[in-house]
Structure 1
Amino acid sequence: MPQPSDARQRGALIEQLAARWLMTQGLVLVASNQHAKGGELDLVMYDGDILVFVEVRHRANNRFGHPLETITPLKQRRLIRAARFYLHHNGLSCPCRFDVIAATGPPEQLHFEWIANAFEAC
């Protein structure tokens, strides 16, 4: 069984690879691993003039479900709260959205599925 630090390192690697992939799609990286009250923002990027909060989810395989299935209503609320804190803390007032990247496979053979505007902040 992997040690917690191994899981954290693997998660950081997956997030870096997802950020690089999104940059090839035209997004611009602003920040990563932003800790905020009640949560963490994996990636903060711009897609044109829209600030995008990207949640990266990974599964080596689908045996325990697809990565997208892990974005529960509770997780959405935590991401929204963290995003509001980020916006307030940085004095930003701009259009924003929440995207999800589902990464499957081993790090050296990842398949990315990008869901833009995956959920709304009510």
Structure 2
Amino acid sequence: MNATRALGRYGEELAARRLTRAGLHILARNWRCGREGEIDIVARDGDTLVICEVKTRRVGRFEHPMAAVTPEKTARLQHLAHCWLDRTGTPPPPGGVRIDLIGIVLPHRGAPVLTHAQGVA
């Protein structure tokens, strides 16, 4: 596994733990919809389906992870949410679908800094 992929997996693990501690139920991780893309984390928050994109960066490298999610990316995540509902045979939840973003910055020293933005799209 290359370093970038390992960094991403580490960030996804941190994000899943954070969501679980916040009371969300993880339904799937790294769910692929053919060539259309991947959902990092699919979770349930009460009666809401949560599609969570996780971006992890080391401090000082590139832009802040939250800036990496463009309008095109959020549109693709919305499409993937519908794909997940269709492929899993899950009816649309009463609380709708929410797109969240978790940005993780890994400092040179100390604990990772997680930012969880709910309903980014």
Matched pairs, number: 116
TM-score normalised according to structure 2 size? 0.87
Q: How does 1:6-85 map to 2 (within 5 A)?
A: 6-37=3-34, 38-85=36-83
The runs of at least 4 aligned residues of structure 1 exceeding 3 Å deviation read none
Unpaired runs of 5+ residues, structure 1, are none
Report what 1:113 is aligned to: 115
Q: Structure 1 CA distance, aligned partners of 2:84 and 2:27?
A: 12
Per-residue CA distance 1:41-78 (angstroms, 9 max, x = gap): 00001111111000001111144221111101221122
Say whether the 8 Å CA contact 2:7–2:56 is kept in structure 1.
no
RMSD: 1.8
Tell whether the 8 Å contact from 1:54 to 1:100 is kept in structure 2 after alignment.
yes
One-letter code aligned to 2:72: L
Q: Which runs of 5+ in 2 are unaligned?
A: none
The whole-number CA distance in structure 2 between the counterparts of 1:96 and 1:11 is 24
CA distance in 1, matches of 2:18, 2:32: 22
How many Å separate the matches in 2 of 1:54 and 1:100?
Answer: 5
Normalised to the residue count of structure 1, the TM-score between the two structures is 0.86
Residue 104 of structure 2: aligned partner: 103
Answer yes or no: is the 8 Å Cα contact 1:39–1:81 preserved in 2.
Answer: no
| 1:117 alignment partner, SS class | coil
